[in-house]
Chains A and B, each alone.
Chain A
């Protein structure tokens, strides 16, 4: 029985199907994928992004990619925290924060990297720096986005393998 989020959400159970057999052959990859999930969502050293903000950002990114299963997963994770209203709002792609605020810079960057990464420019990093986001936090934010992009596509692919898309 797998405990990783992606195979659970793709309903790839240990049912003797060819898809389940292929997943079982790559058990190491799925275990490491789950470790990456934990490192991106619940790191010991959170830097400038709390676990709550990370869960809210992950919910937002999943919604931007129209991935209902992961949006639900991250919304459920978000609900386990004692989040204030401002942080909960991050999960809604329609919310973009007050102009020139730190959160506005973070959300503008996140939306671009999540949905249109080819359009990113040097200025996007410069805007975060100007909003007071440290270089280390810019890397943390990019990694959260980048991991989500991987996880969303892995789930989409598994669902297509199962014929459940």
Chain B
């Protein structure tokens, strides 16, 4: 068995489920239909095969996920990844944090922001805009949410539009969802050689 990874990393690990993925050979027509609308059409991941156990939710979740992370307009895709990563750090979802920090690095062509977040967590020393975004997303991800009017004011003070703020809320909240599946239903493990 490959070792479970406990530290945050930008190298995407593999994911080992704690519950049984569905068997594609025995999938119902509804499960086939839901699996088709996932981004990966060459090989269906164990994660998606696990989620196919609750096919009605999976069917609506995939297009919702894509809309929140990739919709046109509003917040930049890179900054949506900050929201996703902040939630994943709060919820300690090492797998989600790896996927979305590395995506941020590609989009922003910068590795220092995520290095600082992984090294110092909520205390990370970031520039004014990134700090306002990261702090708001971190506090919104707590259970219960700790985001307050001052955090919202800071987003407006750095010049974010209402559309951008809404996209930040959506991408952060979405990872409150994703983390509770990825981190709860499986383990991030070192890639097989």
- Answer yes or no: are A and B bound together in one complex: yes
Q: A residues near B, CB below 8 A?
A: 18-19, 21-23, 25-26, 28-29, 32-33, 35-36, 39-40, 43-45, 47, 64-67, 113-118, 120, 122, 124-126, 135-136, 138-140, 142-143, 145-147, 149-154, 156-158, 160-161, 163, 165
What is the chain B residue whose CB lies nearest that of A25? Answer: B163
Q: A43-B57, A139-B51 are in contact. Are A153 and B173 (CB under 8 A)?
A: yes
- Minimal beta-carbon separation of A118 from chain B (angstroms): 4
**For B91, what are the chain A residues with a Cβ–Cβ distance below 8 Å?**
117-118
**A interface secondary structure, majority:** helix
Q: Which residue of A lies closest to B141 (CB)?
A: A153
Complex: how many Å from CA A153 to CA B163?
17
Given contacts A114-B143, A117-B143, A124-B184, contact A135 B57 (CB under 8 A): no
Stretch touching chain A among B7-15, B68-76, B107-115, B125-133: B68-76
Q: Can you list 27 pairs linking A and B with CB atoms under 8 Å apart?
A: A22-B162, A22-B163, A23-B166, A25-B74, A26-B67, A33-B64, A39-B56, A43-B57, A64-B143, A67-B144, A114-B143, A117-B93, A118-B92, A120-B184, A122-B18, A135-B20, A138-B19, A142-B185, A143-B181, A145-B184, A150-B174, A154-B170, A154-B173, A160-B149, A160-B151, A161-B169, A165-B149
A161 x B152 contact (CB < 8 A): yes
Closest to A139 in B: B53
Nearest B residue to A156 via CB reads B145
Chain B contacts for A156, CB-based, 8 A: 140, 145, 147
Contact flag A122-B187 (CB < 8 Å), given A26-B170, A145-B180, A157-B173: yes
User: How many residues of B are in contact with the other chain, CB < 8 A?
Assistant: 55
Would B19 and A36 count as touching, CB distance under 8 A? no
Cβ A139 vs Cβ B19 within 8 A: yes
Given contacts A139-B50, A160-B151, A161-B165, 4 further A-B contacts (CB under 8 A): A39-B60, A152-B145, A157-B169, A163-B149
Q: A22-B162, A29-B64, A165-B148 are in contact. Are A39 and B59 (CB under 8 A)?
A: yes
Closest to B65 in A: A32
**Partner-A contacts on B (CB < 8 A):** 18-20, 50-51, 53-57, 59-61, 63-64, 67-68, 71, 73-74, 90-93, 140-141, 143-145, 147-149, 151-152, 161-163, 165-167, 169-170, 172-174, 176-181, 183-185, 187
Among all A-B residue pairs, the 4 with the closest Cβ atoms: A157-B169, A118-B92, A153-B173, A146-B180
Task: Tell me, in angstroms, the Cα distance from A10 to B185 when the chains sit together.
Answer: 31
Instruction: Return chain A residues, CB-CB under 8 Å to B165.
Output: 22, 157, 161
Q: What is the CA–CA distance of A4 and B161 in the complex, to the nearest angstrom? A: 23
Name the residue on A nearest B172 (C-beta): A153
Shortest B165–chain A CB gap in Å is 6
| Cβ contact within 8 Å between A25 and B169 | no
The one of A45, A65, A125 in contact with B145, judged by C-beta atoms closer than 8 angstroms, is A65
The minimal Cβ–Cβ distance linking B58 to chain A, given in whole angstroms, is 8
> Contact between A36 and B64 (Cβ–Cβ < 8 Å)?
yes
Contact of A149 (CB < 8 Å), options: B63, B143, B169: B143
